Amino acid sequence: MSAVTREAVEACLRQFTDPHLDQDPVSAGCLREVDIQGARVSVRLELGYAAGLFKNGWAQMLQMALENLDGVDGARVQVDCVIDSHQGQAQVPALAGVKNVIAVASGKGGVGKSTTAANLALALAREGARVGILDADIYGPSQGIMFGIAEGTRPQVKDQKWFVPLEAHGVQVMSMAFLTDDNTPMVWRGPMVSGALLQLITQTAWNDLDYLVVDMPPGTGDIQLTLAQKVPVAGSVIVTTPQDLALLDAKKGVEMFRKVHIPVLGVVENMAVHICSNCGHAEHLFGEGGGEKLAAQYGVELLASLPLSMAIRMQADDGKPTTIADPESQIAMIYQDLARKVGARIALAGKPAMPSIEISED
């Protein structure tokens, strides 16, 4: 029986691609320790993104591969998730209690941006991350409804300076809607809204968040630019539908983030296809392949493509978005995959990988 070497272990690991990083664990810098004790091998990997629902299956797959290596009698693979802080734009100070800010934006309203933001936040929490969501859609705040927070609920104030975010489904939630009357429209000019939102963001006592998802207002005007320039955003997600008009506005969103040097992590395409509940016929009501074309044009990834589904709408209206209401459904799994991909893209754009450690009996 030949002796097991580190080279053989690494070569084995290189045969498998992490579907969220699009790299093998060695090339992605996830390998932290290789311990070879005779015919027994122990490996520790470290993922830079939340992957609680993925890591055990990933570890088992790699373990089985290592146990098939010549000279290996037993193998153990440990996969940890360690989420680091990744700075946003230069000269923009970090937010207290927040490691990474994710902006969810759209060029126009009505494309499902807020629903995507809510499910993304909940999916990240299901993967084991500490998550908050800020409803920055000042003219049409909806996160309170989506998270099932009763109308008229107000946040507590700490030390006469900090708003304490509300909590729902394990996610910290803050919205301007919690400070105003739900039935009174916000008739404010752009500078007033920008100032109020910045105050809300910086004076909320976020409690040790791995990710803060910001549900941005639709469009690319003064409010969006102010937020993009004043909030340290680690990456942005653009939400669109396949419709040509929506894609035209989504392109403006991509360009806006690029101008303020915020990475565009990818595109989410909503209402991609409708499946008839009676006959099962699939029909592309709003066009086909628009999100994929947009992603290809700007060299970013199509992170997810979601169907036009009554269940998504009804569950959000009921205060339990799909990720919580039906966590084992196919649509929920799409949101979980989206969450892991978003976290992985932030990790890839962040700090360089730590060197791995080798331990052997000689």
Binding-site residue set for ATP: 107-114
Vertex 302: Cα angle to 351 and 339 (nearest 5): 55
Q: At what angle do helices 244-259 and 290-298 cross, to 10 degrees?
A: 30
Of 268, 273, 337, 258, residue with least CA distance to 21: 337
The total number of residues shown for the chain amounts to 362
Q: Tokens representing 119?
A: 């499910």
Distance CA 89, CA 262 (A): 7
Local structure of 162: helix, strand or coil: strand
| Residues annotated within a binding site | 107-114
Q: Tokens representing 351?
A: 């700090």
Distance CA 210, CA 81 (A): 11
- Helix or strand (DSSP H, E) at 85: none
Distance CA 344, CA 23 (A): 11
